[in-house]
Structure 1
Amino acid sequence: MSYELIALLMFATMALLLVTGQRVFAAIGFVAAGAALLLYGNGAIELPYNQVFKLFNWYAMLTLPMFIYMGYILAESGIAEDLYKMMHVWFGRLPGGLAVGTILVMVIISAMNGLSVAGMAIGATIALPEMIRRGYDKVLISGVVQGGSSLGILIPPSVVLVLYGMIARQPVSKLWFAGLMPGLLMAAMFIAYIMIRAKLNPKLAPPVPPEELNLSFAEKLALARAGIIPFLIFFFMTGLFVFGYTSLVESSAVGATCATLAAMAKGRFSWKLIRETSMKTLSVSCMFLWLILAALAFGAVFDGLGAVKAIENLFIGQWQLSPWMIIIMMQLSFLLLGMFLDDTAMLVIVAPLYIPLVASLDLGFDNQLIWYGVLYTITCQIAYITPPFGYNLFLMRSLAPREITLPDIYRSIWPFAAMMALTIVLLMFFPQIALWLPEQLNVRG
């Protein structure tokens, strides 16, 4: 049996296990261990097992539980709710002001959390009911929440980019700053779209009554305090990291500590909060660890077969595809996989194949794997929010108020998916949108 056929059989077996409902890490790990035993004999059992030591030698792994803990404890401390009240007053006079404020809140939450799910949960439970009560169009605002939640995977500290950095062996610091400008660019596109639509059709986003916005200076000052805590957390966590005072792991510890102090300052710190937050953090962190371990084991066997070279020869040697055609094919495959898998599962399944292939292509600029990490995260999020099986669509339906139906959610997402696709096109034509900032900043990894 040829190596190409063995590689195809490995992927087919993994796909079959996933269709039967097996956990992603179990399916990938089983195929890796089984293929190693069948190909190399009993001694090969050490091949996937040795990946455990490789995983635990990655110092950056310590950042995962820190960032996840920080996100959960901030959600419980009520900071997001205070932020939304502040944005409600500050941006209420603008066309579509509440929707604009929702996007800005999600940018801030992304900078403190790193997970898109947290942004969606906050938007669906806090912002959506308020905007529906004020007569906002339900299709528009459900798109706002889904589009805004996608910013969590790009703006530092993105947990997905941390995982990509570990698997692709790229500096997480560079990936973070590569994702920052595209993330802010998407946020600016979303805000411009909301304001233009609200200006053209005020019925979609009725203005906030002036009496609600005419507050005294003392009241506005009290609301402004809601933005101080997020700013301080972001400064101490990311600012110290940028200026070289802390490493990546130290920065994550600073963020987790600041989040705990914020909960104390708001009087919501308790042992019950710590216990619940710690249990959630442990659950999510262990899931990520198992996924990375399975990906490393699968990649070790896959590389041993020489399958990456075989695929490279097929695309470039036999089919004579250009490097950009190969990149586009990869992105289309992510859109297809996103109908059935989440972004982390997609990464660990295709990383052994795609990452070495991207590194071998001649795209005409340096830091290709850094650039591709940003491209991957945006493409996966498009897959995540587009019908018919986008995971976030059903998550949104479970979190949103009863007035918003699944057809409303399906209709709402297309303008935001189009703006995300436009961001990808811009990144392909102008890679420096992602690469300029990490090239300018000299940070510790």
Structure 2
Amino acid sequence: MSYELIAILMFSAMMLMLMTGQRVFGAIGFVGAAAAMLLWGTGGSDIPFSAAMKLMKWYPLLTLPMFIFMGYVLSESRIADDLYRMFHVWMGPVRGGLAIGTIGLMVLISAMNGLSVAGMAIGATIALPELLRRGYDKTMVTGVIQAGSSLGILVPPSVVLVLYAMIARQPVGQLWLAGVVPGLMMAGLFVLYIAIRCHFQPRLGPVLPAEERDIPLSEKLSLLRAGLLPLGIFAAMMVPFVNGWTSLVESSAIGAMTAFLAAVLKRRMTREVFETSVRQTLAISCMFMWIILAALGFGAVFDGLGAVRAIEDLFTEQLGLSPWMILILMQLSFIVMGTFLDDTAMLVIVAPLYVPLVQALGFDLIWYGVLYTITTQIAYMTPPFGYNLFLMRAMAPPSISIHDIYRSIVPFVAVMVIALALVMAFPQIALWLPHAVYSK
């Protein structure tokens, strides 16, 4: 049996197990370990064992529980409520101001917790009811929350980019810095779209009534201080790292400790908040560790088979495709997979094939990590089975139908495609900041 056929059988077996409802790490890990044993006998058991040892020795993995803990402390202690109150007061006089403020809220939530689900939950429970109550168009604001929550896997500290860094063997710090400018650019494009649309269609985003806007300046400044607290925590964590004063792991510890102290000083660190934060941190950290372990074992078997070289030869020599055509086909495959898989599952399934192939084609793996995250953001929001669509359906009030949710994301997906095209056409959008920082 040829190695190419073995690779196809491995992918087919893995997809079949996923369709039966098996957990992602279980399906991938089992197929990788079983293939290693069948191909190389008892010596094949060294592959999953070696993957486990590599995982345990990967020092930057310590950042994962730190950032997850930081995010849950800030969200469970309701500091996010202060953020939205700040945007509510300061952006209310502008047409579409609360929707624009919601995008700002999502950017700061992303800097607090590198998971898009957290942004979706906070946006749907805090922002959505307020926007609907003040007469905002339900279709537009549903799209705003879905689009804003997708920034969680691009703006640092992105947990998904930590996973990509481990699988692609790239520095986490460079990947995070590479996501900053594209993430802010995408948020800026969202704001620009909302502002332009509400300018020409004021009924979609009416200004707040005067009685809600006329509050003392001292109260406005107090809300500003409370709302900018998460930004201060993010600065306390990232400034020492960017300037080279601390390592990435040390910065993550600073972030977790600063968030904990902020919750204590605001008298919101209750036993329930602490217990929930620790439990969720443990659960998500263990899930990601199992996924990384499974992906490393599966990828090691692919390396041993030489499947990547065979696929590269098929695309470039036999089919005659250019590197850019291959790259675009890879991005389209992410959008297709996004109809039934989340971002981590998509990455670990195709990473053993795509990451070495991208490198062989001569593309930068840091840049490709940003392309991957933007593409999975688009896949999350693409009908008929986008991951974010069903999350929104579960969290939205009954007045918002699935048809409204599908309609709401069309313009925002178009904006995200524009952002993806810009990063592909101008790689320095992603690569400038990491090069500037790491060249010091």
TM-score normalised over the length of structure 1: 0.97
Q: State the match for 2:87 in structure 1.
A: 87
Alpha-carbon distance in structure 1 between the residues aligned to 2:47 and 2:243: 40
Dislocated runs of 4+, deviation >3 Å: none
Listed as ranges, the matches of 1:113-128 within 5 Å are 113-128=113-128
- 8 Å Cα contact 1:385-1:413 kept in structure 2: yes
Counterparts of 1:256 and 1:359, CA distance in 2: 35
Alignment of 1:437 onto 2:438: no
Report the counterpart of residue 324 of structure 1 in structure 2. 324
- Give deviations 1:20-66, integer Å, cap 9, x for gaps: 11001000011011111111112211211221000001001101111
Q: Distance in 1 between matches of 2:74 and 2:317?
A: 52
d(CA) in 2 for partners of 1:312 and 1:399? 43
2: CA distance between counterparts of 1:159 and 1:55? 16
String of CA shifts for 1:221-271, please: whole Å, max 9, x gaps.
221121341122011111111111111111111111011111112211122
Alignment correspondent of 2:206 = 206
State which of 419, 423, 435 in structure 2 corresponds to 1:423. Answer: 419
Q: Is the 8 A contact 1:124 1:399 kept in 2?
A: yes
**CA distance, structure 1, for counterparts of residue 51 and residue 415 of structure 2:** 39
**Matching of residues 13-92 of structure 1 within 5 Å:** 13-92=13-92
1:171-190 correspondence runs (5 A) = 171-190=171-190
> What is residue 402 of structure 2 aligned with on the other side?
406
Q: Does 1:378 align with 2:374?
A: yes
Is contact 1:77–1:262 with CA below 8 Å preserved after alignment? no
The DSSP-based 3-state class of the residue aligned with 1:21 is coil
2:392 equivalent to 1:396: yes
* 1:219 Cα deviation after fit: 1.2
Instruction: Give the C-alpha shift of residue 397 in structure 1.
Output: 1.1
Superposed CA offset, 1:299-324 (max 9, x none): 11111001000001101111111010
Deviation at 1:137, TM superposition (A): 0.4
Is residue 173–residue 443 contact of structure 1 (8 Å, CA) maintained in 2? no
CA distance in 2, matches of 1:443, 1:402: 53
Alpha-carbon contact 2:47-2:297 (below 8 Å) kept: yes
Distance 1:109 1:443 in 2: 29
Question: In structure 2, what is the Cα distance between the partners aligned to 1:361 and 1:308?
Answer: 11
2:13 and 2:108 map into 1 onto residues whose CA distance is 42
Q: Please list, as runs of the form range in 1=range in 2, the aligned pairs for 1:239-254 lying within 5 A after superposition.
A: 239-254=239-254
In the alignment, the residues of structure 2 paired with residue 227 and residue 7 of structure 1 have an alpha-carbon distance, to the nearest angstrom, of 51
User: Which amino acid is the alignment partner of residue 419 of structure 1?
Assistant: V
1:316-340, Cα deviation, whole Å (9 max, x unpaired)? 1111110100100100110011111
| Counterparts of 2:286 and 2:381, CA distance in 1 | 25
Q: Distance in 1 between matches of 2:429 and 2:152?
A: 18
Contact 1:243 1:443 in 2 (8 A): no
Q: Which amino acid aligns with 2:193?
A: Y
Percent pairwise identity: 65
The one-letter code of the counterpart of 1:400 is A
Displacement of 1:161 after TM fit?
0.8
Which one-letter code corresponds to 2:429 in the other structure?
A: I
Q: How does 1:328-367 map to 2 (within 5 A)?
A: 328-363=328-363
How far apart are the structure 1 equivalents of 2:177 and 2:280? Answer: 28
Q: Which moved more, 1:208-217 or 1:97-106?
A: 208-217
For 1:107-118, list aligned pairs within 5 A.
107-118=107-118
Partner of residue 154, structure 2: 154
**Which letter maps to 2:283?**
S
Contact 1:371 1:435 in 2 (8 A): yes
Which residue in 2 is equivalent to 1:233?
233
C-alpha change, 1:443 and 1:216, in structure 2 (3 Å) is farther
Give the secondary structure class of the aligned counterpart of 1:136: coil
Query: What SS is found at the alignment partner of 2:320?
Result: coil
Distance 1:47 1:162 in 2: 22
Q: Conserved in 1, the CA contact under 8 Å of 2:378 and 2:413? A: yes
Match of 1:308 in 2: 308
Amino acid at match of 1:262: A
Q: Give, in angstroms, the shift of residue 443 of structure 1.
A: 8.0
Residue number in structure 2 paired with 1:294: 294
Deviations 1:378-423 (A, max 9, x none): 1011111111111111111111222211111111001111111111
Are the aligned partners of 1:242 and 1:443 in contact in 2 as well (CA < 8 Å)? no
Distance 2:130 2:37 in 1: 57
Distance 1:160 1:90 in 2: 32
Q: CA separation in 2, counterparts of 1:339 and 1:224? A: 40
| CA 1:383–1:436: 2 relative to 1, 3 Å | same
Contact 2:108 2:230 in 1 (8 A): yes
TM-superposed deviation, 1:18: 0.4
Q: Compute the displacement of 1:193 (Å).
A: 0.6
Distance 1:402 1:98 in 2: 22
Kept in 1, the 8 Å contact 2:83–2:228? The answer is no
Amino acid at match of 2:335: L
Give the secondary structure class of the aligned counterpart of 2:438.
Answer: coil
CA distance in 1, matches of 2:403, 2:247: 46
Amino acid paired to 1:32: G
User: 2:130 matched to 1:130?
Assistant: yes
Q: 1:293 to 1:245 in 2, by over 3 A?
A: same
Listed as ranges, the gaps of 5+ residues in structure 1 are none
Aligned match of 2:4:
4
Partner of 2:400, secondary structure, is coil
| Separation (CA, whole Å) in 1 of partners of 2:295 and 2:231 | 36
